[in-house]
């Protein structure tokens, strides 16, 4: 179709890389007339040549023609590189838009940048909608989990499109308004942080099974069996496939053994941890997953450690293999719950800080399908938040009961791992958090006493109000400090 085609599009997509083109195809499959544009015109032509017969597309080589083709209010989804790439598109397109038009940023943007952009664009009357989209290229095509932010008015315009192309569970879309300005990208950021933790826990579970003598293929069978129970999830499902895969170059070798154990990251996990520190929220399981990736790639450090440090040989002797496998399963489930609890706590705290109206049960609901962390557990989380207001997921009746059942197995697994020298920073961090939040008294009293002695930072008493300080270098008297 030429740039002068008279037909009107219902929605437009900018950016024809894999995610953008698949999202546009998804829209077309759902019956929308979709305008498409890419800065490099040849890429638009390639997408149309391969998929132009899948629905009604209006391809354009110029941005002005693309914008002019859209019915009002215009609904435009940007699927471009986060950062400068997004800013460049915004600068180019906003002069072509009118008040009431909706500009959606579907990239993995930092929520702080989204808040800044929304504030800058707001005076023009254009709605800027930071939107988290999870599910990878397959999800973009078949139905992702979508987490839009922005104004309520913008969701009235773009919501029906996003809900229709999202994954569906029991007739409900895996898409819902998350809150104003950067809320959508914040929720997606935390989703990715939980994803980091989930994969770390799975890796630790696999390492434990291997330490107990299971082959990769046998461990793959274990993960497949777990996927039929409470651990049913996308990541557990695909773990079984990876563990049983053979090296395409050498069918006698497991693919896993041919892959370097160096994990990279693109930033969302780091943002989750950095933001949690700023908010004063404990996301230790996520931070351990981020740091574990850092250690995996610190080759000089690991080389020195392997050459100089002594310890157990990472072998676990078990009398009852199935009992040990069951313990690892319970430890994995428990750690996953803690990661969800910490992530949801970060979202809840941010909602208060930034005045977002985030419904925690709704967050769990839209994560039930389409996204990378989709899991059976999310239905339980959704139901528990629907049943009552929770300070933490850990207090939910069905969750705390299952944690109580699993905790002895969880403790046995961490203890066996420590004794054998198998690194399980995620499992042990999650257990430490569980024990911290249930403890009647923590070591923070000593910390405050030490801070008061060396820096006069004061402390608060259990039997009186106000802040207090001891004259440590003088007569030892306590004085009120506020």
User: Per residue in 429-474, pLDDT tens?
Assistant: 999 999 999 999 999 999 999 999 999 999 999 999 999 999 999 9
CB 193 within 8 A of CB 283: yes
Give CATH for domain 9-176: 3.40.50.720
Between the CA of residue 447 and those of 279, 377, 443, what are the distances in Å?
A: 20, 37, 7
Instruction: Report the C-alpha gap between 373 and 314 in whole angstroms.
Output: 29
- φ and ψ at residue 147, rounded to 5 degrees: -125, 80
Q: Which of 30, 92, 156, 195 is catalytic?
A: 195
pLDDT digits (tens, 9 = 90+) for 245-277: 999 999 999 999 999 999 988 789 999 999 999
Concerning whether 382 is annotated as a catalytic residue, the answer is: no
CA dist 144 and 102 (Å) reads 20
The whole-number pLDDT of residue 264 equals: 82
Provide the mean pLDDT of the chain. Answer: 95
Q: In the prediction, which pLDDT does 2 show? A: 39
pLDDT band at 6 (very low <50, low <70, confident <90, very high): low
Identify the CATH number of the domain defined by range 186-436: 1.10.1040.10
- How many residues comprise the chain? 482
* Residue of 482 and 191 predicted with greater confidence: 191
Question: Binding-site residues, please?
Answer: 15-20, 38-40, 80-82, 108, 134-136, 191-192, 196, 266, 293, 451, 457
Distance CA 209, CA 412 (A): 14
Beta strands at 467-470 and 478-480: parallel, antiparallel or unpaired? antiparallel
Q: What is the pLDDT of residues 352-365, one digit of tens each?
A: 999 998 999 999 99
Q: Where are the domains of the chain?
A: 9-176, 186-436, 443-478
Q: How confident is the model at residue 1 (pLDDT cuts 50, 70, 90)?
A: very low
The residues, ordered by sequence, that sit 6+ positions from 335 with a Cβ below 8 Å of its Cβ are 197, 201, 285, 410, 426, 427, 430, 431
* Domain 443-478 coded CATH 1.20.1050.10: no
- C-alpha 326/C-alpha 338 separation (Å) is 19
Contact 142, 374 (CB under 8 A): no
- Residue ranges of the binding site for NADP(+): 15-20, 38-40, 80-82, 108
Q: What is the pLDDT of residues 75-131, one digit of tens each?
A: 999 999 888 889 999 999 999 999 999 999 999 999 999 999 999 999 999 999 999
Catalytic residue among 71, 118, 153, 188: 188
Q: Which two tokens stand for residue 236?
A: 């557990």
Q: Which residues are annotated as a binding site for substrate?
A: 108, 134-136, 191-192, 196, 266, 293, 451, 457
Q: What is the pLDDT of residue 3?
A: 44
DSSP H or E stretch at residue 193: helix 183-211
Q: What is the DSSP string of 339-404?
A: HHHHHHHHHHHHHHHHT----HHHHHHHTSSSSTT-BTHHHHHHHHHHHS--S-GGGSHHHHHHHH
195 is catalytic: yes
Structure tokens of 400? 């705390």
């Amino acid at each position: 179709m030429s740039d002068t085609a008279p037909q009107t599009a219902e929605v437009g997509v900018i950016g024809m890389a894999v995610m953008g083109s698949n999202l546009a195809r998804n829209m077309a499959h759902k019956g929308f007339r979709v305008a498409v544009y890419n800065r490099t015109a040849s890429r638009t032509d390639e997408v149309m040549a391969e998929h132009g017969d899948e629905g009604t597309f209006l391809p354009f080589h110029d941005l002005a023609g693309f914008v002019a083709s859209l019915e009002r209010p215009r609904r435009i989804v940007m699927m471009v590189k986060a950062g400068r790439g997004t800013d460049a598109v915004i600068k180019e397109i906003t002069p072509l838009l009118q008040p009431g038009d909706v500009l959606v940023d579907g990239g993995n943007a930092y929520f702080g940048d989204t808040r800044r952009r929304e504030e800058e664009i707001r005076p023009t009357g254009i709605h800027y909608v930071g939107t988290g989209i999870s599910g990878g290229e397959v999800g973009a095509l078949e139905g992702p989990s979508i987490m839009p932010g922005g104004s309520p008015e913008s969701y009235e315009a773009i919501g029906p499109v996003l809900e229709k192309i999202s994954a569906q569970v029991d007739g409900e879309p895996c898409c819902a308004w998350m809150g104003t300005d950067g809320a959508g990208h914040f929720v997606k950021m935390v989703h990715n942080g939980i994803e980091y933790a989930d994969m770390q826990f799975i890796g630790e579970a696999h390492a434990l099974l291997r330490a107990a003598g299971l082959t990769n293929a046998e461990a793959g069978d274990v993960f497949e069996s777990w996927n039929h129970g409470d651990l049913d999830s996308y990541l557990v499902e695909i773990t079984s496939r990876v563990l049983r895969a053979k090296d395409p170059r050498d069918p006698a070798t497991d693919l896993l053994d041919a892959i370097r154990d160096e994990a990279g990251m693109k930033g969302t996990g780091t943002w989750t941890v950095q933001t949690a520190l700023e908010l004063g929220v404990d996301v230790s399981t996520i931070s351990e997953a981020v740091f574990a990736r850092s250690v995996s790639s610190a080759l000089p450090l690991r080389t020195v450690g392997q050459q100089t440090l002594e310890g157990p040989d990472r072998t676990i002797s078990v009398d009852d293999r199935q009992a040990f496998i069951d313990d690892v399963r319970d430890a994995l489930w428990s750690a996953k719950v803690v990661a969800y609890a910490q992530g949801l706590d970060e979202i809840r705290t941010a909602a208060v800080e930034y005045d977002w109206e985030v419904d925690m049960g709704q967050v769990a609901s839209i994560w039930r399908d389409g996204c990378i962390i989709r899991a059976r557990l999310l239905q339980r989380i959704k139901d528990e938040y629907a049943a009552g207001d929770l300070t933490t997921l850990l207090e939910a009746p069905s969750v705390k009961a299952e944690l109580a059942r699993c905790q002895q197995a969880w403790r046995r697994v961490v203890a066996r791992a420590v004794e054998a020298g198998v690194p399980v920073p995620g499992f042990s961090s999650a257990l430490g958090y569980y024990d911290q939040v249930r403890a009647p008294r923590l070591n923070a009293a000593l910390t405050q006493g030490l801070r008061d002695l060396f820096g006069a930072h004061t402390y608060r008493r259990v039997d009186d109000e106000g802040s207090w300080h001891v004259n440590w270098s003088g007569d030892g008297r306590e004085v009120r400090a506020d």
